[in-house]
Structure 1
Amino acid sequence: MSGDDVSRMLEKIEEDRVRFIRLQFTDIMGVAKNVAIPARQTEKALTEGISFDGSSIMGFARLEESDMLLKPDISTYSILPWRPEATRAARFICDVYTPNGKPFEGDPRYVLRKQVEEAAKMGYVFNTGPELEFFLFRQEDGKPTLKFQDVGGYFDLAPTDLAEDVRRDIILALTDMGFDIEASHHEVAESQHEIDFKYGDALTTADNVLTFKFATKTIALQKGLHATFMAKPIYGINGSGMHTNCSLGTMDGQNAFYDPDAPKQLSDTAMKFIGGLLKHVKAITRIANPTVNSYKRLVPGYEAPVYIGWSASNRSALVRVPAPRGRSTRIELRSPDPTCNPYLTFAAILAAGLDGIRNEIDPPQSIDRNIFHMTAEERMSNGIETLPGSLFEANQFLMADPLICGILGEHVAGNLNSIAEIEWDLFRTAVTDWETNRYLSIY
């Protein structure tokens, strides 16, 4: 960052009358973290970085090597519109460095940066457009409950959708922060919602996912509600997904997935990308669906895709090709959920797709029937496999995939493995209400 860049940024902060700066980043699990500094410390942050204790952040550093530096990305500067004038705050999303000035290999943003650079070497820009679903639940005594805020259904309007005003305020806040909001609506389940924003390059979009979740939770809390991106908070109703639209652009701005003369108007690049994605998708599942609860959503029914295949005509396939072509040609991976770390998820998707292009991996034949209506024998005869059914199983597939582990790096892959083993052991040994309700009176 040049001295002129720093000077312009400091002038901007002064013009905006900002009093505090939040330096944001994520841990390996994708949970937003931040260090708050007074605005007068911004110059130090921009030139030297702000130190913090990495040993306190999940998956970051051991105690004996815990010193880390946060260095702001000035392109992510944004005022937090919900803060009052007297304590006006702005934020930067930061990259994490070691004290010797090298990027920290455990920083999820760095993992994605490296894959974006790999794509650039091949002449591509990776664009993503995630669709995040979330629930709005009531709070009681300052604690979140599972009580619905509304009883609306898919695309319902007020007064059935009592959270319409909350969605409006979230959209206004995000718009003030520079988002280009495309649509919002009530989702299928009661108190479930979706707000869609415009696609962009993968790094910017991952930053936007972080901001989206942070802003949504903050605005909901101000309204006395709890916004949760948990994959399956309630049994028996739809869970929340993060369908992820992906495309490759060329350096001159063309869509590399579009070929008007090809079958389905999908280029050979698009087909090979799909082939690579399907080859590695079981390993990607550990990253895109990172919690024990994620796999309560990934079950047949409830519109969650579990069958490995692709289609240009039906939504039961794991990878769908939406109808628009030309500049809008894209594929949609339907399995991720919004608990995932977007930096790691986008990096893994991109790495798998680039592997397909490099090694000319052809996808299987497209599946144009509703897979949910097939029998087990029909799925088997069509070679349709299923995604891993648990965090434990998904983690085994990740650890057995040298490509995905390689792009994550030893630090991130090792920590993801440790986290999964600990989570699964805690889950496996926990005694649940279901067990006591079922067995206590009988035995």
Structure 2
Amino acid sequence: MTREEAIAAVKNHSSNKVKFAIIDIDGILRGKYIHKDKFMDQINGDFGFCDVVYGWDSSDALYHQSGITGWDTGFPDGKAKIDLDTFRQVPWDEDVPFFLADYAAGSPSKPVCPRSLLKQIIAKAESKGLFAQFAIEYEWFNFQSNSAEKEITPKPISEGMFGYSLTRLAHATHYVNDIFDLCGSFDVQIEGMHTETGPGVLETAIQKDTILRAADKGALFKMAVKEIANQYDIIPSFMAKWNEKLPGCSGHLHQSILDQNGNNLFFDPKDEQHMSPMMKSYLAGQLHCLPYLMPFFAPTVNSYKRLVEGAWAPTTVTWGLDNRTVALRVLNDTASSTRIEHRVAGADVNPYLCMAAGLASGLYGIENNLKLETPAISGNAYANKRVKRLPSNLNEATQAMKKSKLAKDLLGEEFIQHFAMTREHEWNEYLKTVSDWELKRYFEII
């Protein structure tokens, strides 16, 4: 659909409203309805949207040192520019027209919009004739809504460990089919869906696309699942690790680079591992940059509870051929399917930020003709004590990023400064809490 057709679709729609959203630093969609007359009047300009969305965290707690907005500036409106290329209709909400918007808040020299950051990295790649094709897959747990009170342990919609279970899918057939079909109608096409090992957990792979559309679909999928689930009295959770006894939830990132004709530049049939020199340099760049960009792939305190040995998540800066214990898994069967799966990312990632960091670090490897310094890991990467370990918590990862010249060169000093501040805020909020573990361990005995 062209932009003119998108505008016409809104104009001719039976509804008098349009829904649009921007993406905050945590990957959460912040949006509103507007009357379609307002949409038509201002579509060539900007829409006001309070810039507090970049001055607070996921729980609407204000940052103490935003640098973007605050009480001292009076929380003015930022500028939201609707991207007409993102037009779709919401099939579970009367087919209301929906758009994503790019956002500008604060000084133009201090960019904070994740979607705008990704577009900058994309432009750099495409100026070199490199066209990124990405996809994201999510694992998430589903709970009975009447059990998800904070005072008690939430109850999953199914019990026990039963990965790849058709019968468990059948138990929730209407919910599962609605996700599959309604997401497809929402232009978020699903490639595959199945149960993972764990009670009430599902995994969905979203079809690959150009990187910006892949990021859009990643953000919209989570919104769609939450809104569809509400109709079934189900609460989905995309947090990285909700229970220490169960595997966590991944947000694996699949990546390949195409030329302008759509040929996969990662595939080389003459190479023993079917990996082109470009793919090896891209992979080397990601391995080199990963320790300095961890908050892009593990953005919350909870993210690091998932990254533990034996829990189907990586703990080392490693790569391997079809190996699910490493950080970067190479899949190289055919020209069309050859790709790198970034397994560090959890379901709690901001898809725009993890894709921006993934592409930027891969480009760094290509530009500097980096070579793979370590061979592919075969077997259990957890048992290899000679390889570099990933940061063990959000504070360690944030300080490494904050001090890194490389991170600032790749993604911009102003953005890194702002993002580091938000992650430090997240860590400090965590430090103030008193956990159930502490109460149970110390309340009476200590």
TM-score greater than 0.5 by the shorter chain = yes
1:392 maps to 395
| 2:51/2:105 contact within 8 Å kept | no
Q: Give 3-state SS (helix, strand or coil) of 1:386's partner.
A: coil
Q: Which moved more, 1:126-135 or 1:307-316?
A: 307-316
- Normalising by structure 2, we get a TM-score of 0.91
Q: Return the match for 2:430 from 407, 418, 427.
A: 427
> Which aligned pairs between 1:75-90 and structure 2 lie closer than 5 A?
75-84=85-94, 88-90=95-97
Q: Return the match for 1:50 from 41, 47, 51.
A: 47
Q: Give 3-state SS (helix, strand or coil) of 1:140's partner.
A: helix
Cα shift readout 1:383-406 (whole Å, capped 9, x = no counterpart): x11111000011122113223223
Answering whether residue 224 of structure 2 is matched by residue 215 of structure 1, we say: yes
1:124 maps to 130
In structure 1, distance between residues paired with 2:404 and 2:321: 28
| RMSD of Structure 2 on Structure 1 (CA) | 2.3
| 1:313/1:368 contact within 8 Å kept | no
2:69 maps to 62
2:339 maps to 330
Structure 2 residue identity aligned to 1:47: N
Give the drift of 1:312.
1.0
Structure 2 residue identity aligned to 1:32: L
Q: Give 3-state SS (helix, strand or coil) of 2:184's partner.
A: helix
Give the drift of 1:372.
4.6
1:114 maps to 120
Cα shift readout 1:259-284 (whole Å, capped 9, x = no counterpart): 11123010000000010000011122
Give the drift of 1:150.
0.7
1:414 maps to 417
| 1:6/1:46 contact within 8 Å kept | no
Give unpaired runs (5+ residues) of structure 2. Answer: 57-65
- Normalising by structure 1, we get a TM-score of 0.91
Cα shift readout 1:349-370 (whole Å, capped 9, x = no counterpart): 1111111111111123333432
1:353 maps to 362
2:104 maps to 97
| 2:92/2:182 contact within 8 Å kept | yes
Higher helix share: 1
* Alignment size in residue pairs: 430
| 1:45/1:71 contact within 8 Å kept | no
1:192 maps to 201
Q: Give 3-state SS (helix, strand or coil) of 1:303's partner.
A: coil
Residues 355 and 216 of structure 1: CA distance in aligned 2, closer, same or farther (over 3 Å): same
Q: Which moved more, 1:220-229 or 1:141-150?
A: 141-150
Give the drift of 1:217.
0.4
Residues 42 and 143 of structure 1: CA distance in aligned 2, closer, same or farther (over 3 Å): farther
Answering whether residue 26 of structure 2 is matched by residue 29 of structure 1, we say: yes
Residues 36 and 388 of structure 1: CA distance in aligned 2, closer, same or farther (over 3 Å): same
Q: Return the match for 2:140 from 134, 144, 155.
A: 134
| 1:133/1:241 contact within 8 Å kept | yes
Q: Return the match for 1:147 from 131, 155, 158.
A: 155
Q: Which moved more, 1:8-17 or 1:176-185?
A: 8-17
1:437 maps to 440
In structure 1, distance between residues paired with 2:194 and 2:168: 14
Answering whether residue 308 of structure 2 is matched by residue 316 of structure 1, we say: no
Residues 56 and 295 of structure 1: CA distance in aligned 2, closer, same or farther (over 3 Å): same
Q: Return the match for 1:274 from 283, 289, 295.
A: 283
Structure 1 residue identity aligned to 2:89: I
| 1:130/1:245 contact within 8 Å kept | yes
Residues 8 and 303 of structure 1: CA distance in aligned 2, closer, same or farther (over 3 Å): closer
In structure 2, distance between residues paired with 1:205 and 1:6: 19
Residues 99 and 386 of structure 1: CA distance in aligned 2, closer, same or farther (over 3 Å): closer
Q: Which moved more, 1:319-328 or 1:26-35?
A: 319-328
| 1:280/1:401 contact within 8 Å kept | no
| 1:150/1:160 contact within 8 Å kept | no
| 1:29/1:341 contact within 8 Å kept | yes
| 2:254/2:339 contact within 8 Å kept | yes
Give unpaired runs (5+ residues) of structure 1. Answer: none
Answering whether residue 206 of structure 2 is matched by residue 203 of structure 1, we say: no
